[in-house]
Amino acid sequence: MSIWWALQTLALLLVFTAVSADDVVVLTEANFEQEIGKDRSALVEFYAPWCGHCKKLAPEYEKLGASFKKAKLTVMNTRAFASKYGVSGYPTIQWFPKGSLEPKKYEGARSAEALAEFVNNEGGTNVKIAAVPSNVVVLTSDSFDEVVLNEKKDVLVEFYAPWCGHCKSLAPIYEKVATAFKSEGDVVIANLDADKYKDLAEKYGVSGYPTLKFFPKGNKAGEDYYDGGRDLEDFVTFINEKCGTSRDGKGQLTSKAGTVASLDSLVKEFISASDDEKKAVFARIEEEVEKLEGSAARYGKIYVKAAKSSLQKGADYAKNEIQRLERMLEKSINQAKADEFILKKNILSTFA
């Protein structure tokens, strides 16, 4: 049986990462009865963006959506229409059987497991909640020092309590942050149940939940609080600035990834120089790369290779190589290989 998930506003659409935009049917007062009550059953959640209970439900709906991957996601943009179906508070979850506009109100627990059981009973399905893999490192008293105090890692730690509503609201966003930076070997996104490990919470001055602290490579005192916004982009901006990374909210490298300012200025000279002058500028690029450390030194080697190939193959080398990399990026490749190609493409773009 095909199950549809209907939500009141587009905001919650972001939770259902497993459903493509092509599967979205936007419901309005005009088409609601054309879409609902036909040949498919529908579970409809009526919610308000400002509702705290709705926010707490969001991660459970994420689990539910992951288990019904073949379901259509339906988005409802109108609020006034909800009252027609007995909605007086939020969230209200209604089940519309196949061929009926008479809903049955869901009265069970607001967990993915309970909702799935309800859908299975009402819809005749037999779907179990899929385990949702997490990229957040779960800390304990035994692992805290080993992970957080590792001088080779930049670590963001969320101190949370299981009963905390704000923590529950943050959970799906924090998971997206961890997913965005999962390919960065020296960046760790972690959390600790501070209610369970009270000694660690007290040690690091945690008095409210959630508390977020950043433990950079050079300072493991735990004095660096994260007090920015709680949106995905807020966290991404913070981590990029603190860790020297260049990721976007989807985990893709940005157009600035791999570029080195001191080398970019030399590349400008290299491009505008005559053939004879290019050799002298190339030597200066090599000298500058020798001064670099860490990831910048690795990127510097790509600059040197690009400059050398430009000398040997001519001015069109960078443009042709960029086109080749773009074709490769259109293929099905793993994240590591995609990162490699994007870094090269970004650096080659300075030569094009």
Active site residues: 51, 54, 164, 167
- Chain centroid, CA 7 distance in Å: 21
DSSP-assigned letter for residue 111: S
> Would strands 3-7 and 41-46 be described as parallel, antiparallel, or unpaired?
parallel
Rounded (10°) angle between helices 261-272 and 275-291 = 170
Tell me the residue type at 4. W
| Rounded-to-integer distance, Cα 322 and Cα 352, Å | 9
> Would strands 41-46 and 92-96 be described as parallel, antiparallel, or unpaired?
antiparallel
* CB within 8 Å of 127: residues ≥ 6 apart: 67, 68, 116, 119, 120
Burial of 235 (0-12, 13-18, 19+ CB in 10 A): buried
3-state helix, strand, coil in the chain (%, to 5): 45, 15, 40
Give how far Cα 32 sits from Cα of 77, 88, 122, Å: 11, 19, 21
Q: Are 41 and 122 in contact (CB under 8 A)?
A: yes
